Amino acid sequence: MIFFIQSIYKDSVEYLTLTNQVDIIIYLLPIKWGIIFINIGIISYLSLTILGKNNKAKKIIEDKKETTPPIKKTIKNLSKREKSFLHKNIRNEADILLDR
């Protein structure tokens, strides 16, 4: 983008010198640098926001992994009745229909 702006600037300066409008050249340099700095700002903002979204998604996934307790810890906290259901053969409606 900067090279494109530079080529436009060179063409403009060349045209203005050929047409003897040298007094307008004074305004071209600040305009050129203003456009360059605006483009750099836009590019840096977009790159930071795109990378920031990826980092936030990774942090959310890592937080979910840390907050889910391991299965062994939750089994210790179960009551006797809940523990009895762990090893029980639970049949669903499809199994009951197949047995008929």
The amino acid sitting at 3 is F
pLDDT tens for 9-53 read 899 889 988 998 888 888 888 888 899 899 999 988 988 888 766
- The total number of structural domains in the chain stands at 1
pLDDT tens for 53-86 read 666 656 666 666 555 555 665 667 778 887 777 7
What is d(CA 32, CA 16) in angstroms, rounded to the nearest whole number? 15
Full residue range of the structural domain in which residue 79 is found:
2-99
pTM: 0.48
What is d(CA 25, CA 43) in angstroms, rounded to the nearest whole number? 28
